[in-house]
Amino acid sequence: MKNFHFDNNQLMAEDVPLSQIAEQFGTPCFVYSRAALEQHYRDYEEALTGCQHLICYAVKANSNLAVLSVLAKMGSGFDIVSGGELARVIAAGGDPAKVIFSGVGKSHEEMAAALDAGIQCFNVESALELEQLNTIALEKNLRAPVSLRVNPDVDAGTHPYISTGLKENKFGVSMEDARVLYRQANTLEGIEIIGMDCHIGSQLTTIAPFLAALDRTLLLLDELACEGIHITHLDIGGGLGVQYKDETPPSPQELIGAVREVLAERSLTLVLEPGRSICANAGVLLTRVNNIKTNGEHRFAIVDAAMNDIIRPALYQAWMDVVPVLPNDNIPAQTYDLVGPICESGDFIARQRELSISTGDLLAVKSAGAYCFAMSSNYNTRNRAAEVLVDGSQLHLARRRETYQDQLALETPLG
Ligand code: LLP
């Protein structure tokens, strides 16, 4: 996270002290670095030089309009999983012609809206979805561009909740079914087969599962070519992991280098759907220590962020690094559980951390740019945090902190 660095013993976001951002916008507050987002996107672009490709940033990882607009300006495409995400991409200035639509449960309205917007490709995940999409396209006198999402039954070696390429997962169609479905798709007037898609999971830290999935998809691709079904667009999904603690995931260069070696003789457009590897390490969550208490042997630092802001530790037992923004070595280090104000024992951000902190201190939860705000909620009627994008020495309020009025506005008491 080189765009978040210590300068004069205080943690900065690019050229701005994080303590200044906390003063100005309050806490909890997510802070994103434009330079980091751009660098992570460029890492992919550079690895793909000389190869026909489309990078479709997975909007679900962080869907703030400011983040999307940074990537749209870089020329990025977008991987969406809902009509809401399509609306966000369009509002952020993204090009619908570079949008691919993934997901197992696309509604009639969502498919219709995506067809109207002229998206690049639907990643179809079932026979019924294919049939429905065909009907909607015919009603509109259009042909829907389609990839089938195949499920290669490969173990991604990641947390079971974020593994998607095993046959017990709900995603994609088995290799056997895909063969049949491609033949069927080939007969449908409203469907134009353009590609094949495969996404096996998230936070992958080795290349081997990607290559195993690639082998299986290429086998099917070749079989289909023999039947006259020609596929020109190969989507290998997202899933590249990042470093939260001591993981050593491959770089985009290493992953794409290995994939390109396998694809060398083929003229395919390579599509990628990276989410986490673009934005996780482009963001932090600022939170203040509101109270310190002990229960027997256990020492708790109660912070003003909670599981509604950052659910990854509670949901996936994820380890997120936490550091003081203004380190003070004069405070003796103690072991803390960092917990939020929510009424659940599962409301923790980090456990058993050695920290030199006292009440009122400002902390940064690192690697919080992906799947944090995007998964936040109003549980316990907590206002969702502010989001700020830093660009050099400039600050852009990407989302203002919610108010209670915002939350109550959508509801009506019984009169
Ligand atoms: N494409 C598809 C079809 C996906 O389902 C996903 C993520 C991605 C791309 C992007 O994967 P990435 O490059 O970000 O790994 N909330 C979880 C992660 C859920 C991932 C869901 N799918 C977490 O916080 O770890």
- Ligand 1 pocket test, pick from 147, 202, 317 with the greatest ligand atom count within 8 Å of Cβ, gives 202
| 162, pLDDT greater than 90 | no
| 164, pLDDT greater than 80 | no
From the alpha carbon of 239, which atom of ligand 1 is closest?
A: 15
202 assigned to some structural domain: yes
Query: How many A from CA of 337 to the centre of ligand 1?
Result: 28
Average pLDDT of the segment spanning 88-100: 98
| 183, pLDDT greater than 80 | yes
| 65, pLDDT greater than 90 | yes
Domain that holds residue 372: 4-32+280-408
44 assigned to some structural domain: no
The CATH number linked to 113 is: 3.20.20.10
Does ligand 1 have an atom closer than 6 angstroms to the CB of 274? yes
- pLDDT at res. 158: 77
Does ligand 1 have an atom closer than 6 angstroms to the CB of 371? yes
| Closest Cα to atom 16 of ligand 1 | 371
Query: How many A from CA of 372 to the centre of ligand 1?
Result: 12
Split at pLDDT 50, 70, 90, the class of 172 is: confident
Same domain assignment for residues 177 and 295: no
Does ligand 1 have an atom closer than 6 angstroms to the CB of 58? yes
Q: pLDDT digits over 187-206, tens only?
A: 999 999 999 999 999 999 99
Same domain assignment for residues 152 and 289: no
- pLDDT at res. 12: 98
From the alpha carbon of 274, which atom of ligand 1 is closest?
A: 13
Q: pLDDT digits over 370-403, tens only?
A: 999 999 999 999 999 999 999 999 999 999 999 9
The CATH number linked to 317 is: 2.40.37.10
Split at pLDDT 50, 70, 90, the class of 250 is: very high
Other C-beta atoms closer than 10 Å to the C-beta of 35 total: 17
Average pLDDT of the segment spanning 254-275: 96
Does ligand 1 have an atom closer than 6 angstroms to the CB of 319? no
Average pLDDT of the segment spanning 355-373: 98
| 163, pLDDT greater than 90 | no
Same domain assignment for residues 241 and 340: no
| Closest Cα to atom 6 of ligand 1 | 238
Does ligand 1 have an atom closer than 6 angstroms to the CB of 190? no
| Closest Cα to atom 8 of ligand 1 | 238
Q: pLDDT digits over 19-50, tens only?
A: 999 999 999 999 999 999 999 999 999 999 99
Instruction: Answer with the one of 250, 272, 294 that is the final residue of a domain.
Output: 272
Mean pLDDT over each residue of the chain, to the nearest integer: 96
- pLDDT at res. 154: 87
Cα distances (angstroms) measured from residue 27 to each of 94, 290, 301, 400: 30, 11, 15, 11
- Ligand 1 pocket test, pick from 276, 319, 372 with the greatest ligand atom count within 8 Å of Cβ, gives 276
Does ligand 1 have an atom closer than 6 angstroms to the CB of 203? yes
Same domain assignment for residues 26 and 154: no
Q: pLDDT digits over 269-291, tens only?
A: 999 999 999 999 999 999 999 99
97 assigned to some structural domain: no
Split at pLDDT 50, 70, 90, the class of 348 is: very high
Cα distances (angstroms) measured from residue 403 to each of 72, 84, 145, 382: 29, 22, 42, 9
- pLDDT at res. 381: 98
Per annotation, catalytic residue among 56, 121, 343, 372? 343
Sign of the C-alpha dihedral computed for residues 123, 126, 131 and 132 taken in this order: negative
From the alpha carbon of 372, which atom of ligand 1 is closest?
A: 24
| Closest Cα to atom 9 of ligand 1 | 238
Query: How many A from CA of 241 to the centre of ligand 1?
Result: 10
Same domain assignment for residues 137 and 249: yes
Q: Residue 343 catalytic?
A: yes
Nearest of 341, 352, 275, 286 to residue 319 by alpha carbon? 352
Instruction: Answer with the one of 220, 253, 272 that is the final residue of a domain.
Output: 272
| 167, pLDDT greater than 90 | no
Average pLDDT of the segment spanning 103-112: 97
Same domain assignment for residues 364 and 248: no
Same domain assignment for residues 288 and 249: no
| 30 strand-pairing partners | 285, 387
- pLDDT at res. 407: 98
Does ligand 1 have an atom closer than 6 angstroms to the CB of 384? no
Return the ∠ at Cα 77 (arms to 76 and 82), rounded to 5°.
135
| 170, pLDDT greater than 90 | no
| 155, pLDDT greater than 90 | no
From the alpha carbon of 374, which atom of ligand 1 is closest?
A: 16
Nearest of 275, 268, 241, 243 to residue 255 by alpha carbon? 241
* Count of domains forming the chain: 2
Average pLDDT of the segment spanning 66-81: 98
Does ligand 1 have an atom closer than 6 angstroms to the CB of 237? yes
- pLDDT at res. 168: 74
Same domain assignment for residues 311 and 253: no
Same domain assignment for residues 392 and 327: yes
Same domain assignment for residues 156 and 207: yes
Does ligand 1 have an atom closer than 6 angstroms to the CB of 163? no
- pLDDT at res. 289: 98
Average pLDDT of the segment spanning 116-132: 97
86 assigned to some structural domain: no
52 assigned to some structural domain: no
Does ligand 1 have an atom closer than 6 angstroms to the CB of 276? yes
Same domain assignment for residues 333 and 188: no
Split at pLDDT 50, 70, 90, the class of 166 is: confident
